[in-house]
Amino acid sequence: MAEMRAERKSIFEYLSKNKFLIPMYQRNYVWSEDECEQLWEDVYNFFENKEEDEEYFLGSVVIYKENGKQNIIDGQQRTTTLCLFIRALYEKARGQNGIDKLKDNLASCLWDINSLTGNINFDEAHFKSEVATDLDNQSLENIFKDNLIIDKESKKLSLYEKNFILFQNKIDELAKDKPTEWFNFCLCLLQNCVILPIECDGRDKALRIFNTLNNRGVSLSPADIFKGLIFTNKNDKDRMEFAKEWKTLENQIQNSSYLKKEDISFLFTQYEHIIRAQYSEVDTVIPGVLEFWTKKDKENSKNKKANFAANEDLLNKEETFEFIKQLGEFWCNPYNYLNPQAQKYFAILNAFQNRLWQMVVSVCFYEYKKNKNSDIFDIILPQLVAYNALGLIYGKGGSSGLFWGLMKANVNIIRENKRTNIFEPSINLPDLKIPSLENFIDFSKKARPQQIRYILALYAIMYNQNQVMEWNKDNKNYSLVKAEIEHIFPRNWQNTNYNGWDEKEAQEYLEQIGNKMFLEKKLNIQAGNGYFNKKKEIYKDSYFIEARDLSASSQKDWLKCDIEKRNKQIYDAFSKFFTSVF
């Protein structure tokens, strides 16, 4: 047999004559409704304008046959989507009379057909995926069942389900507007749309093509490429075990309430920061995660060969993926590793405006695993929370402002074995202490709501260490870090003279930190623009300790002097906190 053979096939020939498998080492299904909409438009426009016997080319796929199934190496997005497309066509056609041959042809693209009876075996679909996570795989299998049930109102639909529903809606519109034409549309897709399968002689030859896909412009994620490279470099005995472990890790991430919006690339990025710290590297010209792990001896703009993982061939070392799995377990379930006080600081970190702080937490986990030092999070998380807060107050809370300090902290933890005072003065933060009260107040007036939320979240546990972080009330979940900002003196001036205030003075004091506190959304709505004496009755129902304390106040008004007093109270609390951790 030749190493490769290619022969143009109609969609009907391609799908009905083969059974397909997406192997474990492949990438996930990523086509969204946008790509499916484009496919529909392309096919429909071709149908509307085609000449007799004209064909529409849908691209090539790379496959190899093993155990009776065509393993798809390149082209799974199109093949998967075509199967969903045809499944939607079959569902529309099955209830109509006079098109038995069309229904048979559609069905033969998707399922085994009994050669004697012509009955469809809905349990034997022609398309299966080993790479889909358990939840997605269940939804994919359900689509190919006889009794198809999809909750279209669900907020947790998989991409398979979303795209199938899109095709259903498109087909319903076509059948309604042009009831006779849609049969010919089905025939056009099956007979006049063609694809070029490139069948390779065995897996290894196909994998060599797979590993060049990124150079050919195919948009693979770093995680896809890492998986392919690691898989290729393992022997046959270890490959399937690795693929299973990779899929298990993907399932963990997808099912994690904390990490579900990430993929495995996130873990390699975190490990990159750990490795850089081991080399004492704090250069802010940092390589991307793919380059760091795969591009040997590549120099950055400062002529440094800082791609340490690639230079040491760490990607293919057994201990690398073992640690990636451990790191995944931590980030999927971070609160399981933290004591109650550390959990509070971790929750506050999640209210910060970016996620650079995660690199320091990953370094903490590395040290925790290495030295079994369970109190490392208790010692370092308060410092990390304080450093972020100081960056905000000095106007350096962006990525560039804190980046060097965070990397230097990583080095201090790993190379210097430091636990306290891991942060050092830098160009952006030359002095690790709070600025003047006037500067602090000025920051609070100009800061964005997200920045004030972080400051108020931290102050809530400074105010009272017994402040709870999460609670349930009226069958709803509440969280300190997701609370709303309440303006104690009402935000909208009511054009009246109130206890000696005028509108100009009100605007001067309105946005100062002393006039802002956290309150649950429902209570914040109830409080509205009422004045203090009315708001107190609402504050007493809050889970925020400071709000409840204010509700017990005997005073009826909230005045300039109260805002000034609370400005100083918050300022002193932060000053004391910064002094204790730096």
**245-258 residue pLDDT tens:** 998 999 899 889 89
What is the rounded average pLDDT of the residues 429-452?
A: 94
Element containing residue 365 per DSSP (H, E): helix 358-371
**382-414 residue pLDDT tens:** 999 999 999 999 999 887 889 999 999 999 999
CB atoms near residue 278 (< 10 Å): 15
What is the rounded average pLDDT of the residues 38-63?
A: 90
Rg (CA), the chain: 30
What is the rounded average pLDDT of the residues 461-489?
A: 90
Q: Find, among 184, 167, 178, the residue nearest to 41 by Cα.
A: 167
The set of residues, in sequence order, having a beta carbon less than 8 Å from that of 535 and lying 6+ positions away, is: 488, 527
Q: How far apart are CA 3 and CA 1, in angstroms?
A: 7
DSSP category for residue 182: H
- Residue 181: pLDDT band with limits 50, 70, 90: confident
Looking at residue 182, its amino acid is W
**39: which 2 tokens?**
């496919």
Q: Given this model, what pLDDT does residue 204 score?
A: 65
Q: How far is CA 166 from CA 15, 40, 146, in A?
A: 21, 10, 19
**573: which 2 tokens?**
């609390």
Q: Given this model, what pLDDT does residue 493 score?
A: 60
What is the rounded average pLDDT of the residues 512-526?
A: 94
Percent of the chain with pLDDT over 70: 95
Q: Find, among 193, 176, 195, the residue nearest to 77 by Cα.
A: 195
Q: Given this model, what pLDDT does residue 218 score?
A: 44
The set of residues, in sequence order, having a beta carbon less than 8 Å from that of 44 and lying 6+ positions away, is: 174, 185
- Residue 498: pLDDT band with limits 50, 70, 90: low
Q: How far apart are CA 265 and CA 503, in angstroms?
A: 53
DSSP category for residue 502: -
Looking at residue 400, its amino acid is S
pLDDT at 230 over 60: yes
**69-118 residue pLDDT tens:** 999 988 889 999 999 999 999 999 988 888 999 999 999 999 999 888 88
Percent of the chain with pLDDT over 90: 59
Element containing residue 71 per DSSP (H, E): strand 69-74
Q: Given this model, what pLDDT does residue 73 score?
A: 83
Q: pTM of the predicted model, to two decimals?
A: 0.75
What is the rounded average pLDDT of the residues 128-135?
A: 80
Return the higher-pLDDT residue of 348 and 474: 348
Return the higher-pLDDT residue of 22 and 276: 276
Backbone angles phi and psi of 350, in degrees to 5: -70, -10
pLDDT at 433 over 70: yes
Question: Which residue's entry shows tokens 């770093």?
Answer: 222
**323-372 residue pLDDT tens:** 999 999 999 999 999 999 999 999 999 999 999 999 999 999 999 998 87
Q: How far apart are CA 392 and CA 35, in angstroms?
A: 40
